[in-house]
Amino acid sequence: MPAPADPSVNPADPRDISADPREIALDPRETTPKPEYVIALSCPDRPGIVYALTGFLREYDANIIDLEQHSDRQTGRFFARVRVEFLGEAPSLERMREEIGPVAGELEMDVRIVDATTPTRTLILASKIPHCLGDLLFRQRYASLPIDVPVVVSNHPDLEPMVRAYGIPFEHVPVTKETKPQAEARMFELIEQYDVDLVVLARYMQILSEDASSRLAGRAINIHHSFLPSFKGAKPYHQAHDRGVKIIGATAHYVSDVLDEGPIIEQDIARVSHDMTPADLVGVGRDVETQVLARAVAWHAEHRVFLNGHRTVVFPH
């Protein structure tokens, strides 16, 4: 005879931790997140900008989850990043982009409206050094970085096995002085083919041409293995060691037509000591590089970075 049922346990009660989770009917309101949009804007600073923006959002029953703003008194520009959810049905991005036109025109806004849940399509350029590329791919795989990498391009074949292990296409595009125009043309073909929004130079040991840098302005990030603007050029850690430095660093910046002088997004440092060898400094530097590059890529992908002349405004987490 089967044992009598325990009257204290309701098999339909989702609080019963012994129940099969596949059999528990969850409230769809708890499992379906509300759409969230990010509005990122810059414009000449003047009174009434936030008032105009919040008035525009009120027409959509939009609830502001997060609002960050900055007025740059030096350049006279205003910057804001607003993340919103909707109490009712979310409007389409196309509708909001069209209907913000009159507000943007009146206030001379550069404005973009994006879906906060959509990863940024990112093409990564690399050469032979694996740590920055591997770190980005790992973070993407485990959803700690809001990017989608549809392809990796390299001027050497060495990193292909690592990239293929992540199930990502690998394009070997050799570069010489004579073939650089063709190589960059192929890069732009891949950018169009894979609908890429961001290009990341993950220790890519090639200098982009002035034309390529101009076409990618504000959407190509490079990691420099030094704390700019010092110790430029080859073997920066050996230069630092020779100078007896006590800190080393890394710099993530947007690519510009002047080598390593693009707008800086993020920097960090690590302390070193007199008993470290150049190899020790390289090891410490690699850790700093991966963290700085990951933060810069994340902030760009989350629309937290704004160009402000040759500088940036960054609203970090």
Which secondary-structure segment (H or E) carries 135?
helix 131-141
For 195, the token pair is 């609908």
Kindly write down the DSSP assignment for every residue of 266-291, as one continuous string. EEEEEE--TT--HHHHHHHHHHHHHH
Dihedral through CA 275, CA 276, CA 278, CA 280, nearest 10? 160
Q: Which residues pair with 151 in a beta bridge?
A: 123
State the DSSP code for 11: T
Active site residue 260: yes
Q: CA 147, 150, 151: angle at the middle one, nearest 5?
A: 120
| Active-site choice (61, 72, 257, 260) | 260
CA angle 81, 83, 86 (to 5 degrees): 150
Q: How far is CA 78 from CA 49, 107, 108, in A?
A: 9, 11, 11
Query: Residue 70 has what DSSP assignment?
Result: E
Read off the amino acid at residue 212: A
Question: Would you please indicate which residues are annotated as catalytic (active-site) residues?
Answer: 260
